Structure 1
């Protein structure tokens, strides 16, 4: 079986590093790629298969919401687990993301435990928890 693959998308390098380190410590066999914005993530998603996307909301060039909307329009990515990692937790933004098809949210700032809980939930729902 191939490794479980995660795409981490955030314009802040320290957040990408924080997320990647947390995932690698808990899931040592995981494959992680990262992108600095939605446009770069879109290019990676076009070329490679991923099992989960962890994505910031506010980024230059293409926002997390725009990336999510694009993913849901692609047949191959319609059901891809997509977790929004954001400080935008107000009701209006949550509703907007739910309507676009987000799988879950992680609010910034977050702890490793909060992040891992959401990732494990997504992996369980996708039948991938035993693979990591």
Structure 2
């Protein structure tokens, strides 16, 4: 299971990697610090899951997710963000996300994300 984590906060990136690695033994996590880097890494390799923040420098998460969806409709996309505006969630639903987890990130949120990821891996 390959997961791309796109998050501008180094602390949150590292915490996500640590928690998900502890919860999902066979997980491989690649990290990106903004939407542009995330899109580059996505285009260079294959991933089963993209976990992304929305508000980031260089390229916002929503734009990156839209570009990913244009080229790959099957990859699971989970948004991890503090931006919970209804209009934003509706736009993300139209783009086609598979899950939305509210920040701040903690152990409970890691369990929620791990459950989504594990559920997807059994469907295929």
Query: Is the structural similarity TM-score above 0.5?
Result: yes
**Corresponding residue of 1:24:** 21
**Corresponding residue of 1:69:** 66
Question: C-alpha separation between the residues in 1 aligned to 2:37 and 2:80?
Answer: 17
Of 44, 47, 50, the match for 1:50: 47
Moved over 6 A (4+): none
TM-score after normalising by structure 1: 0.86
Question: C-alpha separation between the residues in 2 aligned to 1:123 and 1:57?
Answer: 23
Question: C-alpha separation between the residues in 2 aligned to 1:14 and 1:115?
Answer: 14
2:78 is paired with a residue whose SS is strand
- Are 1:124 and 2:119 matched, yes or no? yes
| 5+ residue gaps, structure 1 | none
CA RMSD, 1 decimal: 1.6
After TM superposition, give the deviation of residue 39 of structure 1 in Å. 0.7
Aligned length: 124
TM-score after normalising by structure 2: 0.92
| 5+ residue gaps, structure 2 | none
